[in-house]
Structure 1
Amino acid sequence: MPLRGLFARPILLLALPVIASCVQQGDFGRPAPTAWNSLIDAAGTLAARERSEAASLFPFTEDERTLRDRAWRYLMPARERSLFEATLANLTRARVLPADWRSPDPAGYFEAIMAEDARSPVSRYRLLSEDVTADGRLIPAFADTAARVVRADLNRLRSLPFIRTLDDEDVRSAAMRVAENRCLIAWVRREASLREQAYRYALEHLLVTVPGEEAIGVERTLAFLTARRRLLDPLLPVDAEARCGLAPVPGAGAQAAIVTKG
C-alpha cells in the first residue's frame, strides 16, 4: 500500500512530520512514558478508529499495558536501515499508520546488518545470533502475558449479559478492547514468524557472502527461536491474522479468480 491514502483525514497526514520528529525513546529504544508519547498513542487509537479497526477508549489494565510493552520488540525492526524507517515503524506500532501499509521484506534485516560497520564477518554472525537469541528469550514472557489477557477478556465477555447498568457504548467499547487485544497478539505472532524468516534469509546469504563456521551456532539459535515461537500458536485460532486484516484470507485469491472468470 502506498503512503498516500493511509489516513482517513488530511490533518493526520499534515501532522506526520511533527509526530515523526518528536517520538521520545526510553530504555531499549522503547517509547518513553512521556506525555508526548502518550499523545502519539492516543492519535494512533483515533486513527485506527477512523479506519474502522478495533480500538477502544477504555483504560488499559496492568496486563494490557504490559502486553503492549512486550509487543514492542516484535513490532519494530530488529535492525533499522535508517532513522526514517525506524520512525515509520514506530508510527505503525502506535497505529498512526495501518499495520498492512507495507509488504513483508525478508531481505531488509540482511541489508541492515550488512550496512553496519563491522571489523570482520564474524561480527555480523554475532549480531544475527544475538538478535535471534533475544527474540527467543522474550517470547515466553509475552506468551504468558497474552494468555492472561485472553482469559481476562473471556471473563469480560461472559459478564456482559449479566450487567444491566451498561449502555450500548460500554458494551461496544468492551467488545472493541477484546478485539484490539486479540489483534495485537495476532500481529505479534505474525511479526515473530516474519522475523524468523528474515533471520534465516540473513543466515543463508551470509553463508554465501562471507562463509564462516559461525553459521553452525546461528543455526542452533534459530532452532531455539522456532521452538519458542510455537508458544504463540495456541493463543489464538490459526486464522486470527486474516480476521484482523494482517494476512490474506485463505482462499480469497482463488475465489476472486473464479468470480472474474465467471
Structure 2
Amino acid sequence: MPRRVLPLVLPLARVLLAVPLVAACAQQGDFGRPAPTAWNSLIDAAGTFAAHERGEPASLFPFTEDERALRDRAWRFLMPARERSVFDAALNNLTRARVLPVGWRLSDPAAYVEAITAGPFRSVVSRYRRLSDDLVADGRLIPAFAETASRVVRADLTRLQSLPFITTLDDRDVRSAAMRVAENRCLIAWVRRETAARSASYRYALEHLLVAAPEDEAVAAERALAFLDSRRTLLDPLLPADAEARCGLVPPEPAEVVLVRKG
C-alpha cells in the first residue's frame, strides 16, 4: 500500500474497529431514533468521516433545523422494520450513519416475515396485526418526511443560486456547500429507495402469511399496504427519477446501443 494512503486508511480503520462497540451502547430516543447523546454523536461523526474517505458527499457544515429534522425523520426508513438480532441492529445503525457503505447490505425481502414469525406465538392473527400496524405507521410518517424534504430541497436551491453572488467564499466553502446539497438529495433518494424496499418486504410477508395461514385479518393488511403505497407517491416529485442511480444507491441503467449500418 502506498505510504501516502496509510495516513488516511489507518485512522479510518481505528474508527471502524471502535464504533461497533460504541453502537452497542447507543441510546435510543423517541420512536426508536438515536437519542442526542455523545455516543450517538460519535457514530454520526465517524459516518461522515468514513463517507468522505469513500469519496461520497460529506460536508462539515452545521445542519439547519430542517436538515436535522430530515435526518431524524429518515431514521425509521433507513433501519429495518423489525430486527432479527442485536448484532443486525448494530450493523444497520452503522449503515444508517454511513460508517458502513450502503451497498454492503443486500435487499432481503424475507427478512421482515422471518423477524415477525420468529419464536413462539399464540395466533397468526397477531402477526397479521403487527404487519398492519407497521404498514400504517410507515404510511403516516411519510407526509411529514416529504414536507420536510421539500423545504430542504428549496433551501438548497437558494444556497446554490446564491453562490455566484457571494465573493467572500473560498474553494472550501463552495465545496462544502455543494457537498451538503448532494448529501441532502442522496438522503432523500435513499429514503425513497428504502420505502419501496419496505413495501416489497411487507407484500412478501403478507403473501407468505396468507399461504401459510389464511385469516380474515389479511384483508386489513392488504388495505394497509395500499395505504402505504399511496403515501409513497409523495416522495416521487422531490427528486428526478434517476436520483437513486446518481447517488450510487442502485446500478445505473445500461446505455442504449444504436447500431448504424454503413452504406
Question: If the length of structure 1 is used for normalisation, what is the TM-score?
Answer: 0.92
1:29 counterpart = 2:17: no
Q: Does 1:204 align with 2:207?
A: yes
Q: Which residue of 2 aligns with 1:78?
A: 81
Mapping of 1:46-61 within 5 angstroms? 46-61=49-64
Alignment match, 2:167: 164
Q: How does 1:107-146 map to 2 (within 5 A)?
A: 107-146=110-149
Secondary structure of residue in 2 paired with 1:100: helix
The reply to whether residue 219 of structure 1 matches residue 222 of structure 2 is: yes
* Aligned residue identity for 2:69: T
Structure 2 gap ranges (5+): 1-7, 258-263
Which whole-Å deviations, capped at 9, do the CAs of 1:58-81 have from their partners, x for residues lacking one?
A: 000000000000000000110001
Q: How does 1:5-44 map to 2 (within 5 A)?
A: 9-44=12-47
Deviation at 1:85, TM superposition (A): 0.7
Tell me the residue number matched to 1:179. Answer: 182
Larger Rg: 2
Confirm whether residue 100 of structure 1 aligns to residue 128 of structure 2: no
Aligned length in residues: 248
1:117, CA displacement in angstroms?
4.0
CA positional deviation for 1:134: 0.3
Report the identity percentage. 73
Counterpart of 1:191 in structure 2: which amino acid? E
Counterpart residue number, 2:157? 154
Task: Please give the alpha-carbon distance, in whole angstroms, between the structure 2 residues aligned to 1:46 and 1:201.
Answer: 36
Q: Which runs of 4+ in 1 moved over 3 A?
A: none
State the Cα distance separating 1:12 from its structure 2 match: 2.8
Aligned equivalents of 1:21, 1:103: Cα separation in 2: 22
Q: Does 1:240 align with 2:243?
A: yes
Alpha-carbon offset, residue 118 of structure 1: 2.3
CA distance in 2, matches of 1:108, 1:205: 12
- Rounded Cα–Cα distance in structure 2 between residues aligned with 1:93 and 1:22: 16
Alpha-carbon distance in structure 2 between the residues aligned to 1:117 and 1:152: 50
1:90 aligns with 2:65: no
The change in CA–CA distance for 1:67 and 1:82 in structure 2 (over 3 A counts) is same
Q: CA RMSD in A?
A: 1.4
